[in-house]
Structure 1
Amino acid sequence: MKKIIYILTITVLGFTKISANSKFYTTEYETAVTFPAAYAIGDYIEFLKVNPLDVAASGYYQISISYTRGGVAAAAIHLASISHSNPALWRETGRINNNPYSGLGVNFTIDCNTEYNNPRFRIRAINTLGISADLIVHIKVTSLNINGTFTALNTTGNDLTVSKFLPMTSDWNLYVGNVFSNAGAQIAIKATQNGYVGIGTTIPDEKLTVDGKIHAKEVRVDLLSPMTVPDYVFTTDYKLKTLKEVEEYIKKNNHLPEIPSAKEIEKNGLMLAEMNMSLLKKIEELTLYSIEQNKKIEAQTKEIESLKNLVLRVTKIENELARK
């Protein structure tokens, strides 16, 4: 008699949690769903609604699935949070353990939707693996803290648009460090609810803020209107400053025209796209100065050649007169 009572007690506690005020909460739910032989990738069965009714509830669930095909078993364990995800989307839950068919991959995954007051789970096909018979999938859901009620569902459909692993929080931090050291971890990535991301900083002030050096093979910058490539410098109506005007400006301001000063850059930083366009403009203007200088040099060279020829003729005449 004592053995029977003991077994019954273990069974009850396996499916309930006793709180300090002696309330009972359901923590586990089991079911089985059947995918027909002709099921397609994206087919799903919405099988459960959950209700974490207590403020102490974590909102975390563990979902185990198992199924067999021709005597070969496959199983997986998924973790889901209905407290920290985008309520507008179905998302694929994280998989922490997986035992697929040998060398053939995984047939099913678990999705969750955290619509307010209506959080739900479904199982979805992500592979068929040539199955020609109905496939029964056993599912066990365990609340990792407390849960109010489980409500069985049986809604089917097909969805090929599910995104993977889409948590939603007000912000997110990733710290890294040496687990064998007493030194504290350092911030690696910070994401905020306004879409700003920081690398090496906890206070990103733009879409991407990096506290450190960046190493890349290529960087592409899109120009924002009204910023344009300054090829207008080469148009016939462009008024190019004279070198004398540029010299006077430099003497007065200690920097090139239309280029920010050192103090301005120290205060406001360097706007890469704007600065590149400004430097390109100066290069194009410098090219025009060089072309103009080259024309003057060519003209001077011709004048020099003419003068040399004149000197030779005069010298020849002088020599002939000297011989007479």
Structure 2
Amino acid sequence: MKNERILLVNRPKGAPQKSDFRFEEASTPALENNQVLLKTIYLSVDPYMRGRMSDRKSYVPPFQLNEPISGGIVGQVVESLSGELEEGDFVIGNLAWQKYNVASDAEVRKLDPSLAPLTANLGVLGMTGLTAYFGLLDIGNPQEGETVVVSGAAGAVGTIVGQIAKIKGARVVGIAGSDDKISYLKDELGFDVAINYKTENVYEALKAACPDGVDVYFDNVGGEISDSVLALINKGARIPVCGQIALYNLEKADVGPRMQSQILINSALMKGFIVSDYAAHFEEGAIELAKWVKEGKISYSENIVDGFENTIDAFLGLFSGENTGKQLVKVAEPENV
């Protein structure tokens, strides 16, 4: 069985380049008790992976050089020595970027493809949706009539954040980077206002869009966009800090306005979080998200790139804003069993 994997071979300097990665053929080890051989069907590419490519302290260990990159994968069992999983079963887990993986049954979770599309488990019903759910509701705590601003609003997390805020009765302003994304946010997802940061003065547009100030800011990007939003926060504002994609490729520390005075004057809460902080509550979050999807209160978009050979292009596209919604790679067709 021909296997192939993707290795990190250089620590990127600034924006990652294709030369920082290498494809290579790999052997597939024989199974041991309680293990399964998985064919990768879909894999997820995510902005946080950029941080793991640098050798610095973070909330997860860095990727090792000349070793496979890993991330969220939906796979199908093609061989099993497990009492829990059978040939044909679909599973999800954090696994290597390879066409085939060997994993123990404790490393993966069985999926029921009749409940939701397989891809939804890597997006709206997976880490993406749970990140939006817990970050917004636990830290942001939006109230009816408040103004919620979301940066990176057309991304996988931002699209879900905005819709949950609308469910809670908030007024929602999204910030994104193309006219198509602006139309998607307003016309399909129900955002009240959407601002194109590439063509508009963000601060002036925000002032016009938020005449009563900002009560909740869900920060996915950092940088100058966040400086503009934080200058408009209200007393008691809440700021969940989810990501800083504008800063991930910088080689030197970012220098910008110091926002501590704004936080102090407004008695605001600014809190960073990682979705794994809420691991004990994942089931309840997934149940609520699935209910909202079923009721039509949350819709989601996926950008699916075909072919394992295009994985690096799909990853690099995250940093130029090519995707709307969740970025995935389809590696293989599932088998009908």
**Fold match, TM over 0.5?**
no
Structure ranking higher in strand proportion: 1
**Whose radius of gyration is greater, 1 or 2?**
1
TM-score, structure 1 as length reference: 0.19
Higher relative contact order (CA 8 A, sep 6+): 2
TM-score, structure 2 as length reference: 0.19
